[in-house]
């Protein structure tokens, strides 16, 4: 029993009747919190608590994690495979054999008719690493389509691309422990307290022990900006200009780490020549930050003994997201802030296992950061899997954001979607709907039968959720965590690994890889394939991972634990061992506000919801705390348009319109509005989604809209409710 103020009204924590606590890892975000699920005497999950000894969260959980035990028995779960009737109107329940036979035969029919690459596969950041690896083996080694990607293209593709361009490989160099050592932290486009509350708590703990400056770059006065020492309300889409200007000041004033540049980087001369053009005065006219502040921030960052930059979607989801990441890496390379405690570039990842898909899914290459373009890498994997090397393509296929338009052009005829929901997550919803309707065959594999995209499927495969299965997730700081299963799969749903293995049996190939039955056996393949590589798992076992509450890679054979940081020796993954300093010219290619559409529309997350609300939209308390699509709008702008707090407004872009509830706040500038991206038929009816040329990630965060009061407020309320209802 706890006591409230004055000890008059004791707060009672209900006894949930837990008889057994089971260890697992949170299945929402990439923080990687260790948790225990409490089971009652009937084996029903009834409670969740954090694990005190876990390095990542030390017993804490955010509001999503606290209610995660409710996920197992929420409405809308897929209980049985479904197949459309012959008129493609309604779903009928069917056996697993029927659903899997139909799926395999349709994939083969489409490939036989239209070619191997006419069938596309798009997966997720949500399933286990062992499942990603198995899906990659099935796709690359058996089905053989090259148009295979993950929904991580909507989220982390720019970070991946930027790391590869600068360092020669993907892989976040830093870790949470860097907060304990840094002397200056800059966050760009990252509202850490709401997006990643437990990582924020780690930062806050470090700040309580030792004061160091926090600089937040964000067009909106986010919760993070409110506690920052310096807030830079940058003009949307101009991060590269700001980063070049910071580099300009550092080089101009001789604040760079010349010894590090000379020893560990290449192409410095071209980079330095380019940033000469980005003096603070000219840059301030583009990025909206005054010249004195640019100079002050550059000096603060460069003079710190160690400095780090973290970022999330504010950088990645842009027409130059990859350049933004490279710009951050440039800044850290010229100041010698890579691979040392407190000095790093650290992308804060989104989904619980977005890192696992990057490492092992084979979406953009082959397992263990191997490249399709490398003959040696193709041979290693072909030999390991026991297949013909010529079966592999010589370069990666389309990204998710190019796969969908290829349905329009007739290049893609069939698709398999795994734990992803493009009807809510992709830009320009009306266009996505038409694309899905055009497919000859769509199979949706998901935990929930009521996921919006399932309306367009021909077959639905019900998957087990999160801790109904076992396997690993890799978190933001390269920590491999173990998710133990705490209960059996719901009804007749099945683990994704089982589904992949059953489908593999249905394809005939002369030489086929072996598909192990258990996830732990699959993990042994990961250990073998990663031995001696940067991404080394060979020193890990499942038991060891559980005992240590996660192990960071690389963890080489014989090591007791993993490595906290990459590139500590200044050796990078390019052939010459040097990191690239890359000149970045700013290209102003985005949609910007004009007379017809005078407001910037920015989008982001709220703490209560995760991505398209497929899971959190079904948790009572999370919906109660964040029930409805809303828009943050500046009171001065609202007054001019006659828009009132708590009323409904219609936003219109060149793509479509959406109705949202108005919340007036000075967190946004008069020419900007902010809307959470989680709700169906909302933000992505408006977004444009121009793509980054390197990462193919959409610019979700920057488009232009106009605003008017909804004429019929009652009808608007109904539309608004529809956007949040399952």
| Gyration radius (Cα) of the chain, Å | 25
| 350 versus 414: smaller Cβ distance to ligand SF4 | 350
Contact 306, 342 (CB under 8 A): yes
Integer CA distances (angstroms), 285 to 90, 278, 279, 291, in order? 57, 11, 11, 9
- 193 or 219: whose CB is closer to ligand SF4? 193
In angstroms, the Cα distances linking 528 to 368, 385, 525, 543 are: 10, 12, 5, 17
Measure the N-to-C terminal CA separation of the chain; round to a whole number of Å: 37
Q: In this structure, what DSSP letter does residue 82 have?
A: E
Min separation Cβ 50 and ligand SF4, Å: 8
Shortest approach of ligand SF4 to residue 57 CB, angstroms?
A: 6
Q: What is the smallest separation between the CB atom of 48 and ligand SF4, expressed in angstroms?
A: 9
Max CA distance (Å), the chain: 76
Tokens linked to 671: 């020419």
Smallest separation, CB 61 to ligand SF4 (Å): 4
**Which lies closer to ligand SF4 via its Cβ, residue 59 or residue 577?**
59
The CA distance from 347 to 179, in Å, is: 14
**Residue nearer to ligand SF4 on the CB measure, 136 or 197:** 197
Residue nearest ligand SF4 by beta-carbon distance: 65
Q: Reduced to 3 states, what is the DSSP secondary structure of residue 461?
A: strand
State the virtual CA torsion across 598, 600, 606, 611 in degrees, nearest 10.
Answer: 110
Residue 199 beta carbon to ligand SF4: minimum distance, rounded to whole angstroms: 7
- Alpha-carbon gap, residue 572 to 556, rounded angstroms: 18
CA-closest candidate to residue 493, choices 527, 447, 529, 537: 447
Query: Is residue 262 helix, strand or coil?
Result: helix
Contact 561, 548 (CB under 8 A): yes
**Contact status, residue 658 vs residue 685, Cβ threshold 8 Å:** yes
Interatomic CA distance for residues 449 and 467, integer angstroms = 18
Dist CA 700 CA 591 (whole Å): 11
Q: Given the complex with ligand SF4, which of 358 and 494 has the nearer CB atom? A: 358
Cβ–Cβ < 8 Å for 635, 666: yes
Question: Would you give the DSSP letter of residue 319?
Answer: T
- In the complex, minimum distance from the CB of residue 434 to ligand SF4, in angstroms, rounded to a whole number: 34
How far is C-alpha 567 from the chain's CA centre?
24
CB of 241 to ligand SF4, least distance (A): 32
Contact 185, 308 (CB under 8 A): yes
Q: How far is the CB of 346 from ligand SF4 (least distance, A)?
A: 16
Cβ atoms of 474 and 350 closer than 8 Å: no
Using DSSP bridges, classify how beta strands 185-188 and 148-150 pair: parallel, antiparallel or unpaired. unpaired
Taking the complex as a whole, the smallest distance from the CB of residue 478 to ligand SF4 amounts, in Å, to 15
- Minimal distance, residue 176 CB to ligand SF4, in Å: 12
Q: How far is the CB of 27 from ligand SF4 (least distance, A)?
A: 8
Task: Rank residues 197 and 397 by Cβ distance to ligand SF4 and give the closer one.
Answer: 197
Nearer residue to ligand SF4 within complex by CB, 194 or 692: 194
Read off φ and ψ for residue 40, nearest 5 degrees: -85, -175
Select 198 or 261, whichever has its Cβ closest to ligand SF4: 198
Quick one: 332 or 475, whose CB is closer to ligand SF4?
Answer: 475
- CA neighbor of 235 nearest in space, from 245, 227, 226: 245
Separation CA 702–CA 688 (nearest Å): 8
Q: How far is the CB of 139 from ligand SF4 (least distance, A)?
A: 28
Contact, 634 vs 600, CB < 8 A?
no
Q: Can you give the length of the chain in residues?
A: 726
Could you tell me the smallest distance in angstroms from the CB atom of residue 25 to ligand SF4? 8
Residue matched to tokens 């780690």: 202
> What are the residues binding ligand SF4 (CB under 6 A)?
26, 28-29, 31-33, 57, 61-62, 64-65, 196-198
Cβ-proximal residues to 349 (8 Å cutoff; 6+ apart), any chain? 30, 155, 156, 159, 172, 355, 475, 476
Secondary structure tally for the chain: helices H, strands E: 26, 28
In angstroms, rounded to a whole number, what is the distance separating the alpha carbons of residues 440 and 112?
14
Distance CA 720, CA 6 (A): 42
Q: Which is nearer to ligand SF4, 26 or 313 (CB)?
A: 26
Percent helix / strand / coil, the chain, rounded to 5:
35, 20, 45
Q: How far is the CB of 178 from ligand SF4 (least distance, A)?
A: 18
Nearer to ligand SF4, 615 or 701 (CB): 615
Q: Which is nearer to ligand SF4, 454 or 474 (CB)?
A: 474
Task: Quote the least distance from Cβ 60 to ligand SF4, whole Å.
Answer: 8
Q: How far is the CB of 352 from ligand SF4 (least distance, A)?
A: 7
**Least CB distance to ligand SF4 at residue 418 (A):** 21
What is the nearest approach in angstroms of ligand SF4 to the Cβ of residue 565? Answer: 21
- The conformational region for residue 622 under phi > 0 = left, psi -120 to 50 = alpha, else beta, is alpha
Q: Is 639 left (phi over 0), alpha (psi -120 to 50) or beta?
A: alpha
Burial 158-172 (b: 16+ CB within 10 A, else e): bbbbbbbbbbbbbbb
Between 203 and 268, CB nearer to ligand SF4: 203
- Of 311 and 567, the one with the shorter C-beta distance to ligand SF4 is 311
The answer to whether the beta carbons of residues 637 and 667 sit under 8 Å apart is no
* Strand partners of residue 115: none
């Amino acid at each position: 029993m706890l006591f409230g103020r004055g000890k008059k009204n004791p707060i009672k924590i209900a006894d949930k009747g837990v008889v057994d606590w089971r260890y697992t890892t949170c299945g929402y975000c990439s923080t990687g919190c260790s948790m225990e699920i409490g089971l009652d005497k009937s084996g029903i999950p009834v409670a969740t608590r954090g694990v005190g000894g876990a390095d990542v969260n030390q017993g804490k959980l955010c509001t999503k994690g606290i209610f995660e035990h409710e996920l197992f028995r929420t409405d809308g779960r897929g209980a049985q495979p479904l197949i459309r009737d012959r008129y493609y109107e309604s779903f009928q329940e069917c056996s697993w054999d029927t659903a899997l036979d139909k799926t395999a035969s349709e994939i083969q029919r489409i490939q036989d008719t239209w070619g191997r690459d006419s069938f596309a596969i798009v997966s997720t950041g949500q399933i286990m690493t062992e499942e990603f690896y198995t899906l990659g083996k099935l796709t690359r080694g058996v089905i053989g389509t090259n148009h295979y990607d993950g929904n991580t293209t909507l989220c982390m593709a720019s970070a991946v691309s930027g790391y590869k361009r600068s360092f020669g490989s993907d892989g976040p160099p830093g870790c949470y422990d860097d907060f304990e050592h840094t002397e200056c932290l800059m966050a760009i486009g990252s509202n850490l307290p709401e997006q990643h509350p437990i990582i924020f708590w780690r930062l806050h703990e470090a700040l309580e022990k030792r004061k160091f400056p926090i600089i937040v770059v964000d067009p909106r006065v986010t919760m993070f900006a409110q506690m920052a020492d310096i807030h830079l309300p940058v003009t949307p889409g101009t991060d590269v200009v700001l980063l070049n200007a910071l580099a300009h000041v550092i080089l101009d004033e001789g604040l760079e780490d010349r010894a590090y540049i000379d020893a560990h980087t290449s192409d410095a001369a071209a980079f330095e020549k380019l940033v000469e053009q980005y003096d603070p005065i000219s840059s301030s006219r583009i990025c909206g930050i005054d010249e004195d502040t640019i100079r002050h921030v550059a000096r603060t960052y460069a003079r710190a003994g160690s400095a780090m930059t973290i970022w999330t979607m504010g950088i990645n989801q842009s027409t130059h997201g990859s350049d933004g990441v490279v710009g951050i890496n440039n800044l850290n390379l010229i100041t010698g802030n890579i691979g040392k405690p407190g000095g790093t570039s650290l992308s804060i990842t989104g989904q619980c296992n977005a890192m696992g898909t990057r490492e092992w899914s084979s979406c953009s290459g082959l397992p263990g950061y191997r490249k399709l373009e490398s003959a040696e890498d193709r041979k290693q994997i072909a030999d390991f899997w026991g297949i013909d090397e010529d079966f592999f393509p010589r370069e990666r296929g389309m990204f998710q954001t190019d796969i969908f338009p290829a349905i329009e052009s007739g290049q893609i005829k069939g698709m398999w979607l795994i734990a992803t929901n493009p009807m809510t997550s992709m830009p320009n919803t009306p266009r996505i709907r038409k694309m899905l309707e055009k497919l000859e065959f769509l199979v949706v594999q998901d935990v929930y039968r009521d996921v919006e995209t399932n309306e367009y499927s021909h077959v639905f495969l019900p998957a087990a959720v999160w801790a109904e299965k076992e396997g690993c997730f890799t978190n933001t700081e390269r920590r491999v965590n173990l998710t133990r299963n705490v209960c059996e799969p719901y009804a007749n749903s099945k683990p994704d690994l089982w589904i992949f293995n059953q489908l593999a049996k249905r394809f005939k190939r002369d030489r086929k890889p072996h598909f192990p039955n258990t996830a732990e056996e699959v993990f042994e393949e990961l250990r073998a394939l990663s031995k001696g590589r940067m991404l080394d798992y060979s020193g890990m076992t499942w038991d060891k991972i559980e005992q240590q509450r996660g192990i960071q890679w690389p963890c080489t054979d014989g090591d007791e634990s993993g490595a906290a940081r990459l590139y500590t020796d200044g050796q990078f993954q390019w052939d010459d061992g040097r990191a690239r300093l890359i000149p970045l010219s700013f290209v102003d290619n985005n949609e910007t506000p004009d007379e017809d559409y005078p407001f910037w529309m920015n989008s982001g997350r709220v703490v209560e919801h995760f991505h398209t609300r497929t899971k959190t939209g079904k948790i009572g308390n999370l919906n109660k705390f964040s029930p409805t699509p809303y828009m943050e709008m500046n009171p001065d702008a609202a007054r001019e348009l006659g828009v009132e707090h708590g009323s409904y407004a219609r936003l219109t872009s060149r793509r479509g319109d959406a109705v949202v509830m108005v919340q007036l706040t000075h967190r946004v500038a008069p020419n900007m509005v902010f809307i959470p991206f989680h709700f169906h038929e909302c933000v992505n009816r408006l977004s444009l989604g121009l793509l980054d040329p390197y990462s193919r990630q959409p610019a979700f965060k920057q488009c232009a809209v106009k605003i008017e009061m909804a004429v019929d407020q009652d009808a608007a309320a109904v539309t608004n409710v529809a956007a949040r209802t399952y």
